[in-house]
Chains A and B, each alone.
Chain A
Amino acid sequence: KAGVTQTPRYLIKTRGQQVTLSCSPISGHRSVSWYQQTPGQGLQFLFEYFSETQRNKGNFPGRFSGRQFSNSRSEMNVSTLELGDSALYLCASSGTGAGNTIYFGEGSWLTVV
């Protein structure tokens, strides 16, 4: 069974640009969540999607957005990039029901210069 797949794995962008990251969850998983990981702040929750609906959102500015497609694949977008957006962006998927483990993808390393 394939794990959570994220693309691209590494990217470099310039301040002011925008970026789109993609995530394919484990087959059968309908919940996809996104996290930002930085050395200073650790792992912070961005948002969570289930059946194409955003159910939960963390404390990030509106420049961070996401969506989920009918096949459960998800994308997140960051517009008007800032240097502080440089981070590892992790996607995680889980099944529904109590006791479901959350599995992480390899992450997308974003560097903003």
Chain B
Amino acid sequence: EDKVVQSPLSLVVHEGDTVTLNCSYEVTNFRSLLWYKQEKKAPTFLFMLTSSGIEKKSGRLSSILDKKELFSILNITATQTGDSAIYLCAVDGGTSYGKLTFGQGTILTVHP
């Protein structure tokens, strides 16, 4: 069975700090790894990673995938209070479209 583990489960930082969120996975037929941000509503898509070593960036957020070691990291630099959210890592195990296996999520709290 596919498995995704995120760490840490929660993190409290101050504005301006840099954070690194981790995601490790075990899947039978890897297709892609996705990161989502969830506030009090639907998960919002951040990144999709399919190839090792290629960093994806969007403003202060970046992510990279290591398919050999089966993990991904999400970095957020110069954090702001608006970054406070649950960050979800999910893996598409390739069994069919639409099925993602999610990690437990990392709850990030950014204090002013």
Q: Which residues of A contact B (CB under 8 A)?
A: 4, 31-33, 35, 42-45, 48-50, 55-56, 58, 90, 92-94, 96, 98-107
User: How many A-B residue pairs lie within 8 Å, measured between CB atoms?
Assistant: 71
Residues of A within 8 A of B88 (CB): 43
With A43-B88, A102-B100 in contact, is A90–B45 under 8 Å at CB? no
A99 interface neighbour in B41, B42, B44, B48, Cβ under 8 Å: B48
Interface of A is mostly: strand
Q: Does B80 contact A (CB under 8 A)?
A: no
Residues of A within 8 A of B34 (CB): 101-102
- B contact residues, total (Cβ < 8 Å): 25
A92 touches B48 (CB 8 A): no
Q: Which residues of B contact A (CB under 8 A)?
A: 31-32, 34, 36, 41-45, 48, 50, 88, 90, 92, 95-105
Query: Closest residue of chain B to A6, judged by CB?
Result: B42
A92 touches B31 (CB 8 A): no
CA distance A96 to B98 in the complex (A): 10
B43 touches A50 (CB 8 A): no
CA distance A49 to B104 in the complex (A): 25
B42 touches A101 (CB 8 A): no
What's the least CB distance linking A93 to chain B, in Å? 8
Residues of A within 8 A of B44 (CB): 104
